[in-house]
């Protein structure tokens, strides 16, 4: 067979018995369907194997769309995600579910002036009562009054502490396993945010500082800690894989772990081993969101030898993530969780020991 040829495109006819695995493996034959198939197989066959540390990034309004309870919580519970870098907005909206505050399906063609008069807030085709925001703001300000928050800390520690409160709240309310932060707290999956001031959580933290709170974010700790998690995986004989939903700041924060290790700290490394991105961003505009894994090789972010293990699928994350999650559950099931939150100090100490700063 010629080297440029793959398997023949001969999908079977659809019938009532087609499941997600067969749909993806047998029917996603070309274009972005094929990229989604390659991404699902990459995650299931390589990244979900023991010894691979998987970092997940979240951008776009994913949790308001319900992807926390439906996809992200199951991935965390099954040990398929080891650490997360998210926009603050996704984590703020995640809290609504644990607090029993509802979001509703609507229309993208709603009259926004009328919604404003009715006290409703719109995220494309999702609406919520303005009180949802006010009650969530109140929740975060209330927990930040606790003595444990009255100091400087990294975002992973903040989200771990907040996740404990959210887990208890959803338990008391009898709501079930809805909150991503609650699941990450219980599974010891560290959750970082690359721009902590750029969300309603950050705004409430700023308000508390006006009232005399000593709470503040330690962004440098987050930079060193995430790099440490990557270095710890590599020095332990393992590999690292990144799953990027969208792009933006969390994508860069995830990928900069390798340049921080190599370029800034002077530690010998090659880059991430596996790369899967779901995005609607074009590469030709020069933005980071659309930058290809091949371009990332030039920065040391991706191991050149790992380029065959990189996939970019150009589609909406709200389409791809449910399919990827179902595929992983039905093919991999689960794996032993790494519980990296408890190993953050170990990761930091490794970075300190190996750094070669002139």
User: Where does the pLDDT of residue 302 fall: very low under 50, low under 70, confident under 90, or very high at 90 and above?
Assistant: very high
Residue 10 lies in a domain: no
DSSP class of residue 193 equals E
Residue 74 lies in a domain: yes
Residue 1 has pLDDT above 60, yes or no: no
- Give me the percent of the chain exceeding a pLDDT of 90: 92
pLDDT value of position 239 = 98
> Whole-angstrom Cα distance, residue 137 to residue 128?
14
Cβ–Cβ < 8 Å for 226, 83: yes
Residue 155 has pLDDT above 70, yes or no: yes
What average pLDDT does this structure show over 106-130? Answer: 96
> Whole-angstrom Cα distance, residue 155 to residue 152?
10
CA distances 344 to 154, 351, 356, Å, are 11, 11, 20
Residue 351 has pLDDT above 70, yes or no: yes
Q: Convert the pLDDT of each residue in 243-287 to its tens digit.
A: 999 999 999 999 999 999 999 999 999 999 999 999 999 998 888
CATH of the domain at 159: 3.40.910.10
Residue 162 has pLDDT above 50, yes or no: yes
Q: Residue for token digits 């807030």?
A: 121
Residue 9 lies in a domain: no
Query: Which neighbouring-strand residues pair with 192?
Result: 85
pLDDT value of position 3 = 59
Q: Convert the pLDDT of each residue in 44-77 to its tens digit.
A: 999 999 999 999 999 999 999 999 999 999 999 9
Helix 344-354 to helix 219-235 angle (10° resolution) is 80
Residue 338 has pLDDT above 80, yes or no: yes
Domain that holds residue 301: 20-354
Residue 216 has pLDDT above 80, yes or no: yes
Residue 14 lies in a domain: no
Greater confidence, 4 or 193?
193
Cβ–Cβ < 8 Å for 261, 231: yes
Six-digit token string for 23? 């749909």
- Give me the percent of the chain exceeding a pLDDT of 70: 99
Residue 3 lies in a domain: no
Indicate which residues carry an active-site annotation. Answer: 301
Residue 2 lies in a domain: no
Number of domains in the chain: 1
Residue 217 has pLDDT above 70, yes or no: yes
pLDDT value of position 357 = 86
For 173, how many CA atoms within 13 A lie in the half-sphere containing its CB?
Answer: 17
Q: What is the mean pLDDT of the chain?
A: 96
pLDDT value of position 295 = 87
Coil, helix or strand at residue 122: strand
Q: What is the pTM for the complete model shown?
A: 0.96
What average pLDDT does this structure show over 174-185? Answer: 98
In the chain, what's the furthest Cα-to-Cα distance? 71
pLDDT value of position 4 = 67
């Amino acid at each position: 067979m010629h080297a440029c040829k793959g398997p023949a495109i001969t999908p079977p006819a659809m019938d009532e018995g087609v499941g997600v695995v067969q749909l993806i493996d047998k029917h996603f034959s070309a274009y972005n369907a094929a990229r989604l198939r390659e991404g699902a197989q990459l995650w299931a066959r390589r990244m979900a194997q023991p010894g691979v540390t998987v970092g997940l990034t979240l951008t776009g309004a994913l949790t308001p769309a319900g992807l926390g309870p439906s996809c992200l919580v199951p991935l965390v519970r099954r040990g398929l995600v080891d650490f997360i870098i998210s926009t603050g907005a996704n984590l703020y909206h995640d809290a609504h579910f644990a607090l029993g505050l509802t979001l509703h399906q609507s229309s993208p063609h709603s009259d926004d002036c009328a919604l404003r008069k009715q006290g409703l807030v719109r995220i494309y085709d999702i609406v919520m009562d303005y009180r949802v925001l006010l009650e969530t703001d109140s929740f975060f300000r209330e927990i930040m009054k606790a003595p444990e928050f009255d100091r400087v800390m990294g975002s992973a520690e903040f989200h771990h502490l907040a996740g404990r409160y959210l887990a208890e709240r959803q338990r008391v309310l009898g709501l079930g396993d809805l909150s991503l932060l609650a699941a990450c707290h219980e599974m010891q999956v560290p959750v970082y945010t690359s721009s902590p001031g750029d969300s309603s959580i950050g705004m409430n933290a700023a308000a508390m500082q006006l009232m005399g709170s000593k709470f503040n974010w330690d962004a440098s700790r987050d930079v060193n800690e995430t790099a440490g998690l990557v270095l710890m995986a590599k020095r332990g004989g393992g590999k690292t894989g990144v799953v990027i939903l969208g792009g933006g700041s969390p994508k860069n924060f995830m990928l900069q772990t390798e340049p921080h290790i190599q370029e800034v700290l002077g530690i010998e490394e090659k880059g991430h081993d596996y790369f899967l991105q779901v995005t609607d961003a074009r590469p030709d505009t020069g933005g980071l969101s659309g930058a290809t894994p091949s371009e990332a090789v030039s920065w040391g972010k991706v191991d050149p030898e790992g380029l065959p293990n990189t996939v970019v699928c150009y589609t909406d994350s709200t389409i791809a993530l449910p399919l990827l999650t179902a595929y992983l559950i039905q093919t991999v099931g689960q794996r032993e969780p790494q519980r990296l939150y408890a190993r953050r100090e170990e990761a930091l100490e490794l970075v300190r020991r190996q750094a070669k700063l002139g």
